[in-house]
Chains A and B, each alone.
Chain A
Amino acid sequence: MSAAAHTDHGHHHKESFITKYIFSQDHKMIGKQFLVTAIFMAVVAVILSVLFRIQLAWPGESNSVLSFFLGDTWAPEGILDRGMYLGLVTIHGTIMVFFVLTGGLSGTFSNLLIPLQCGARDMASGLLNMISYWMFFLSSILMLYSLFLETGPANAGWTIYPPLSVYEEAIPGSGSGMTVWLLSMTIFVASSLLGSLNYIVTIINLRTKGMKMTRLPLTIWAFFVTAVLGVLSFPVLVSAVVLMLMDRTLGTSFYVNDTIIAGEVLEQSGGSPILFEHLFWFLGHPEVYIVLLPALGLTSEIVATNARKPIFGYRAMIGSILAIGFLSFIVWGHHMFISGMNPFLGGVFVFTTLLIAIPSAIKVFNYITTLWKGNIKYTPAMLFSIGLVSSFITGGVTGIILADSALDIVVHDTYFVVAHFHVVMGLSAIFGMFAGVYHWFPKMYGKMMNAKLGMVHFWLTLVSAYGVFFPMHFVGIGGAPRRYYDYSVYEGFDSNQYEMIMDLNVVISIFAIIGALAQLIFLFNFFYSTFKGQKAPQNPWKGNSLEWTTPVEHIHGNWPGEIPEVHRWPYDYSKPGAAEDYIPQTVPLGPDEEEH
C-alpha cells in the first residue's frame, strides 16, 4: 500500500479558488459538486412533475402555474400542450432516473465515502474523477437545454422506444429534442463509466491496513456492486444509442421495419423494435439496482449506527447484495412480456425475476431484526432510513404481481407500474439519498443540519409520498394507461371508470404538490446550514467507521498523519463488555475479544 508515500499530503497546499472549488480533484469536493448539481436537477424534475400532475388532475383547465412556467408556447392560455405534456413526462423520468438517482446518489456518496471508509487518501485517479464530474455537468446542461428547443424536448418517453423516437414526423420531440437527449445520455454514460472504474479500483486496491473485504462497511459493498453493474451494463446502452443514431441519420434499419410515417412508405426494412427493447432493458434493469443498492448501503450504515446495534446478518447482507447484482442481469425480459417476444422466453424471465424476491426479502427481514431490541435514536437520517425500508417493502411486494407475466398483461403500462417503480426505486432511493445527506452533512460541510426541520421534512415527505403512490396503484388496477394526456377516452364508454380515475387523480396531485412544497424545507435547511449551521463535532453520531476519525476541516489526503489501521468490523455497537456503546474500527481487539 502506498500509505507511506502519501504522508506528505497531510499539510495544506496553497490552492486557488479554481482548483479548490471548480476543477477540484479532491474526492470530497467532487462529491459535493455531484450533490449540488443533483439537487438542482431534482428541483427541475420535481417542478416538471407538478406541472403534469396539474394537467392530470384538472385536464384542459387553464392554470396560471402552467402559463407561468411554460409560457404561451407550451401552455397557450394556461392549457398544457399535448406534445409538451409528453415532453414533461419524458424529461422528468430521464432526469430523476439518471441525473438524480444515478449521478446524484452514486456520484455523491461513492465519492465521499469510498476513500473515507476504506482508509484511502483519495480516489485512485483524481483526474478521471474530476473529468467524470465535468462530463456529468455537461450532460446535465444538455438535458436542460433540450427543454428550450423550438420543437420541444424528447417526448417519446424516457424509454425512447423506436420507431417513435426515430422519426421526427411521428412525434415532434424526436427531431432535435431526441438528438440532444441521445448526446446528453452518451456523455452521461461516459461520466458514469469513469466514475465506476475509479470506485472499483479504489475499493480493490486502496484499502488501509487491516481493512479486509469482510470488514468493509455495507455502504462500500453496495457502492462496489453498483459500480460493477454500471461498468457491465451502461456500455450496452451506448451501443443501443449508436445504432439508433444510425437509424436516425444514415438510413440503416436496426430497429425499424416496414414503416409508413406521415403517409410516406419508407425503405428501411429488416430491423426490429424489439431488438432495441432488449438492449435498452439490458441496461435498464441493472439500472434499477444501480439506483437502489447505494441507498440500501447507506441505510444499512445509518440503521446500525442509530439503533446502536450491529447490522443483523452482515454476511447475509453482502450475499444478498451480490445475488441481487447477479440476478439483475438476467431479468430484463420482464419489461417485455407483451412486446411480441416469444412467450416461452417470457416464462423464463418470470422465474428469474421472482428469484430476486429472495435476497430482497432477506434484506428486509435483516433490517427489521436490526431494529428489534435496539436503542433507536431518531435523527432525521434514521427517520428517512425507516422510510426507505417501508417503501422498499411496499414497492417490492407489488413487483411480485408485475413479475408474473399473466398478471402483467392486465397492469402493463398502467399507473400500477408507475406506482410500483416510483415506490420501490424512486422513493427508496430518494429516501436513502436524504438519509445520506442528513447523516454525512457534518462530514461534507463541517456543519450540522437543523434536526427539527429535518423531522418535519421527513414526516411531510413520507405522508405525501404514500398519499401520491397508494391511490396510484388503484388507478392502475382500474385501467388507467400511463402517458395519457387525459382520460376522456373513458368518458363515453365506462363513465364509472372515468369518475374513479378523475377522483383519485385529484387526490394524487394534491399530495404531489404538498410533497413538492415540503422539499422547500429541505432546500432551505441544506443551504442555510451550509453557511450558518452549527459547527459539527468530529463524530456527531458516535459512529464506528473510519470517516469519523478524520478532522472536521477538510484536508487534502483526509488524515493529517498516518492512515489509521483497522482492527475490527464497523458494527461493534453495544458490544457486551465494552464501556461505551460503540467501538471504532481503529480500536484493537481486546485480549479475549472475539471479532464478531
Chain B
Amino acid sequence: MGMKFVVLVVIVLAVIAIAQIMRVYELSSKIRGNKEEDIDLRVNNINASLMLIFLIILFGSFFWMLAIYGNGTLPEPASVLGEKIHWLFNINWIIVIAIFLLCNGLLFIFAWKYSYHPDRKAHWFPHDNKLEMIWTVVPAAVLAVIIILGLMTWNEVTGKPSDDAIVVELYAKQFDWTARYSGDDNKLGYADYKLVGTAEDKNTGTTYNNPFGLITDNSVHWRILGLNNEITEIEKNLRMESNDSVAYSQAKLNKMNAKVEKLERIRERVLDMFGMFNDSIDAFAKDDFVTKELFMVKDQEYFFVLRSQDVLHSAYFPHFRAQMNCVPGQRTSLKITPKYTTAEFREKIGNPEFNYILMCNKICGVSHSNMKMAVIVGTQDEFEAWKVGPLSTPAINDSIIAPIDDIDKERMPWPEPAHHGDHDDSDHEADDHAIEGDDHTEGH
C-alpha cells in the first residue's frame, strides 16, 4: 500500500512540475506574440521533412522484416492443399505489398512535397471524372482476378475428398484432443453425446467408460445403468432427509429433486435409442480405435471429422495450413494430405527436434493455450507398428457386458431387447448423429 501511495505522490508532483513549465512557456510565447493556430514555417517544414523520413524508415523496416521473417514466418507448407494455399498467399501478398508501397509512397511524398509556403496557392482541382474512373475500374479488375483465384482454391479445399481418403474423427473437449481412427472399414461408428459417461456395476465392481458416446446396444445399457446409479444415489440422500437423519436447506432439496427429474428425462431419451437402431448399429464402431496423438501416413489423404463436446474449438494445423472450427452438436470437416514425414521435414528446416502439432485456435476456456496434440507423419509400416502400440486403445470394449438384470423393471419399463425397425423409419436423431465414411458431404 505504501508503495502505491509513493507512486501516486510522485505522479502528482510530476504533473504539477510539468504544468508549471508549460505556464512559463505559454507566458513567454505570449510575450513574443506567438499564436497556437499559426504554425510557423520552420516548424511546418520540419514536419514535412519528418513525413519523408518516416516514409523511408517505414519502407526500410518493412523490407528488413520481410527479409528476416518474410519467408521464415512458418516453414513451407507440409501438405498438398497447403502448397496451393501458400501459392495463392504469395500472389496476394505481392499485390498487397504493391498497393501498400504505392499508396503510402504517394501519400507521404505528397505530404512532404506540398508543404505550406506563403507565396504559393493550392491548385484548384475539385474533381476529374477520368481519374476517378481509373481508380474505380483498375481496383475492380485486380479484385476480379483475386476473387476468381481465391474461389478456385476455396472450392478445392472444401470439396469432396477422394474415395480412398482415410476417415479420422478429432474429438475436442476442454482442454484436449482425441483422435478416433475409423479402422479397417473406414467408417466411424455412430455416436451420441447423451451416452458420454462412466458407469459402475456395483455387483461385480466393473466399470465401463464411453468418452465419445459411441452407440452400441451395450453402451446404451451401460448408460442406463449409470443414470440409474446417479438417480439412486440422490434418492437415497432424499430418503435420509425425510427420515430426519440429515437436514438439507429447501434450496438444496429443490436442486436435488430437479436433478432427479432431469436425469429421468435424459434416461427417457436414452431409452428411446433402442427403438432407433438395428442390429448392426455397432458394426462400424467395432474396429474404431482411439489415440492421444495423431499419426498420418505420408501422401495419404485424410478426411477429418471434427466434433466438440462442450464449447467451440478450432482444429488448427499451422504446418499443414489447415484449420476448421469444432462446433458442439454439429460435425465439421477438413482434409489433409501430408507431403513430408516428420523426419523429412526435420531435415528440410534443419531442426532435429521439430514435430508437427495440432492446436486449438478458438478461445475455449482458461487453459485454451495449452490445448494441443502431437502430430506424426510417417510411412505405412511405421503406422502399422504404431497402431498396435501402447498409445492406441479400442474405442469400445465388447468384453464387458452390461448387467441388464439389475435394472429395476418395475419403475422403468425395459424395452424388448431387439426392436429392429428399418433404418429408414428410425428417428431423425440417429441420422443426425451418424456419419459413415463414404458420406463425406455431411458437415459441410
Taking beta carbons and an 8 Å cutoff, which residues of A are in contact with B? 68, 82-83, 86, 155-157, 161-164, 167, 170-172, 256-261, 265, 267, 269, 271-274, 307-316, 338-340, 342-343, 346-347, 350-351, 354-355, 357-358, 361-362, 364-369, 371-379, 383, 386, 389-390, 393-394, 397-398, 400-401, 404-407, 409-410, 412-414, 442, 448-452, 455, 459, 462-463, 466, 470-471, 474, 477-479, 481, 483-490, 492-497, 500, 504, 524, 528, 532-534, 536-537, 540-541, 571, 573-576, 581, 596
Contact = CB atoms under 8 A, between A and B. Distances in A.
Contact of A257 (B26, B328, B361): B328
B253 interface: no
B309 A259 contact: yes
Given A362-B135, A477-B74, A379 B39 contact: yes
Contact of B323 (A313, A366, A389, A410): A410
Contacts of A68: 3-4, 7
A156 B126 contact: no
8 contacts: A347-B155, A358-B136, A367-B107, A390-B104, A401-B96, A448-B36, A455-B43, A540-B36
Contact of B357 (A390, A459, A490): A490
Given A163-B310, A346-B154, A371-B110, A401 B93 contact: yes
B193 A493 contact: no
Interface of B: 3-4, 7, 15, 18-19, 22-23, 25-26, 30, 35-37, 39, 43-44, 47-48, 50-51, 54, 58, 61-62, 65, 69-70, 72-75, 85, 88-89, 92-93, 95-96, 99-100, 103-104, 106-108, 110-111, 114-117, 120-128, 131-132, 135-136, 139-140, 143, 146-147, 150-151, 153-155, 157-158, 173-174, 193-194, 196-197, 262, 265-266, 309-312, 314, 316, 318-319, 321-325, 327-330, 332, 349, 351, 353-357, 359-370, 372, 374, 443-444
A494 B329 contact: no
B51 A386 contact: yes
A171 B365 contact: yes
B362 A451 contact: no
A405 B323 CA distance: 11
Nearest to A343: B158
Given A448-B35, A500-B73, 7 more contacts: A157-B363, A265-B197, A358-B139, A358-B140, A409-B323, A442-B37, A494-B357
A316 B132 contact: yes
Contacts of A413: 314, 316, 323, 361-362
B135 A361 contact: yes
Nearest to A313: B127
Given A375-B114, A401-B96, A267 B262 contact: yes
A466 B58 contact: yes
B104 A376 contact: no
A406 B39 contact: no
Given A172-B366, A371-B114, A574 B19 contact: no
Contacts of B43: 378, 451-452, 455
B15 A373 contact: no
B58 A338 contact: no
Contact of B370 (A157, A452, A489): A489
B70 to A, nearest CB: 8
Contact of A343 (B136, B262, B351, B444): B444
B328 A259 contact: yes
A375 B120 contact: yes
A410 B92 contact: no
Of all A-B residue pairs in the complex, the 9 with the closest CB atoms, nearest first, are: A257-B329, A479-B318, A448-B36, A373-B123, A540-B37, A343-B158, A378-B47, A258-B329, A484-B369
A533 B35 CA distance: 11
A366 B89 CA distance: 29
Given A269-B329, A375-B117, A343 B154 contact: yes
A272 B327 CA distance: 8
B122 A407 contact: no
A354 B143 CA distance: 7
A448 B362 CA distance: 47
A487 B39 CA distance: 48
Nearest to A355: B143
A184 B443 CA distance: 36
B328 A407 contact: no
A172 B367 CA distance: 12
Contacts, number: 388
A265 B266 contact: yes
A265 B196 contact: yes
Contacts of B88: 404, 406-407
A358 B115 contact: no
B188 to A, nearest CB: 17
A367 B147 CA distance: 26
A378 B44 contact: yes
Contact of A451 (B36, B89, B262, B309): B36
A540 B47 CA distance: 20
A354 B151 CA distance: 12
A347 B151 contact: yes
Contacts of B37: 379, 442, 448, 451, 536-537, 540-541
A397 B158 CA distance: 25
Nearest to B173: A260
A137 to B, nearest CB: 25
A493 B356 contact: yes
A481 B69 CA distance: 17
A571 B126 CA distance: 9
Contacts of A162: 311
B174 A265 contact: no
Q: Which of B25, B322, B361 has the most CB of A within 10 A?
A: B361
B96 A494 contact: no
Nearest to A462: B54
B14 to A, nearest CB: 10
A355 B323 CA distance: 25
Contacts of B107: 367-368, 371, 386, 389-390, 393
Nearest to A171: B365
Contact of B351 (A307, A495, A534, A576): A495
Given A163-B311, A343-B158, A478-B74, A307 B127 contact: no
A493 B355 contact: yes
Contacts of B103: 364-365, 368, 393
Contacts of A156: 363
B432 to A, nearest CB: 9
A593 B23 CA distance: 48
A374 B58 CA distance: 24
A224 B103 CA distance: 28
Contacts of B444: 342-343
Contacts of B116: 308, 375-378
Contacts of A386: 51, 107-108, 111
Contacts of B363: 86, 156-157, 161, 164, 483
Contacts of A273: 312, 327-328
Contact of B367 (A82, A362, A470): A82
Nearest to B124: A576
A485 B363 CA distance: 11
